[in-house]
Chains A and B, each alone.
Chain A
């Protein structure tokens, strides 16, 4: 029964291995991928209920007591993120049925996605900082393969940069872990937290904390370290970009949240304020990039950067409203970024170009696609019936409570610019007079819109039923604010 905690991690791993044997039998591959996604969704929902009822669940791999063995920790935050990652996996898999070429699907696309999901879920669930590194590598290796899959010239160029950047940041990660280990003598997060609290986080530990900020910031694409993202995320096909935008940067953000609330929380005036400044600049850069480009992919990619800034602002406020808003916005952002990238994929299938201005007037022949995009754009900007609203509202409240008025102003202005950037796509590509390639050259978008509608519907439910989502996110926030809950759950005597 206890073994259910590790199930979300094992399901994609086993599925991925089985898919390797299936080679080019695509129907089986698709069926198993969907089945695995459903199974993870079911187990994580079950786990989530259990966590809310009975508190944080821990799982000792191999039966070794923490801090000596590796421990998996399922608190509300990790379980919610596992749930949302598997939802995105199912939606993108549905998109690939018609939205990905046969050649890519034949060359291990589905197993790679399963391994990517294994890495992502492992990174969410682990309670050991070196294990976190290993799961980061699992997801990065899969993402290297996914980004280069297909082997077009752009993909080769961008994957080279992407791999280089991530190898460097992984080396930084190992170095940071080595410093932390030599300073404290442990790798278990709960034990680290307890030991650092004992010595009240001296300057050395704060330096290590900032080193971790550099490492995770490079994965999450915060201000000075985001430069690799625009190229890397616009090179692969839209489905793969959607997976990346929905999952990869979010793992970095989750790691920043985890590390700076559980372990390094003693000097928020240094660490959290730095995060706040970086988050504010990230929002500005993302918003400016989003309005600067005339390319649909580039606009969305800079929106990903801006989103990272929004979420991290909650951590900088470091109070209940701020963290709650950050968590809520993180979940919303996963759904909406995946939906937007999938919609952009469908639009490009019709227009045959990513440039704004070369094609317009989709809505006449494809009304469903057009209105879905409008809904996605409104949700992204945070218009009330959708989920973006509550996240941003609480982020702003948190910012006011922490008296960070400048940051809040930046958040509001960049929200406006983000709305402008996506509405520009809506007005110039979807509305307007009809300039489209010949009917014969247009692709078929049947079935490409439904996965995004599914994601948007969930975003709508999250917005309308915020009351139902509230206890889970509040529980997650509670753990973030009270690290002793986490430590007690992990280090308790059996």
Chain B
């Protein structure tokens, strides 16, 4: 029987967004500042773990309606495919490139293919962390 944890739940609803936005910021700034896919993924996973603590695992599963293991698998597929993608341009495996683009709103932006690889890492870390924590946490 749970005690009345209105404060925890309300704070969680607020804080979760801040954590996720910060994790995405850290993830995107990884090329020039400390950060990257691994730490970003851990932070995003931490936000979901917080929801799991304040509410329950079912809520998290409702938010992410797919198997956590498949998130990792998708991440791995993305990471490998970005490596293989360089074959199309007759370059070696995992060759990366970057260029500057003029984007609406953001202006002159540097886009690197290394980010695609990092998205893979990001998803693998989220999937693995959630799988581990919620497999242990679930009652058999």
A residues with CB within 8 A of B: 2-3, 6, 10, 13-14, 17-18, 20-21, 59-63
Contacts and interface: CB of A to CB of B under 8 A. Distances in A.
Interface stretch (B5-13, B31-39, B85-93): B85-93
A61 B92 contact: yes
Contacts of A18: 77
B131 to A, nearest CB: 12
Most central of A18, A60, A61, A62 by chain B CB within 10 Å:
A62
In order of increasing CB-CB distance, the 7 nearest A-B pairs are A20-B73, A62-B94, A63-B95, A63-B92, A17-B76, A17-B77, A6-B93
Report whether over half of chain A's contact residues are helix, strand or loop; otherwise say mixed. helix
Contacts of A60: 92
A62 B96 contact: yes
Contact of A13 (B73, B80, B87, B95): B80
Contact of B93 (A10, A17, A20, A21): A10
Contacts, number: 39
A246 B70 CA distance: 31
Contacts of A62: 92-96
B95 to A, nearest CB: 5
A61 B93 contact: yes
A21 B80 contact: no
B84 interface: yes
7 contacts: A3-B87, A13-B80, A17-B73, A17-B80, A60-B92, A62-B92, A63-B91
Given A3-B93, A61-B93, A62-B92, A21 B87 contact: no
Contacts of B91: 63
How many of chain B's residues touch chain A, expressed as a range?
Answer: 10 to 19
A109 B87 CA distance: 30
Contacts of B84: 10, 14
Given A3-B87, A20-B69, A10 B92 contact: no
Nearest to A16: B76
B121 to A, nearest CB: 14
Nearest to A3: B87
A21 B70 contact: yes
Contacts of A21: 70, 73
Interface string B48-78: 0000000000000000000001101100110
Nearest to B96: A62
A19 to B, nearest CB: 9
Nearest to A21: B73
Contacts of B76: 17, 20
A2 B77 CA distance: 23
Contact of A3 (B72, B77, B92, B96): B92
A62 B96 CA distance: 7
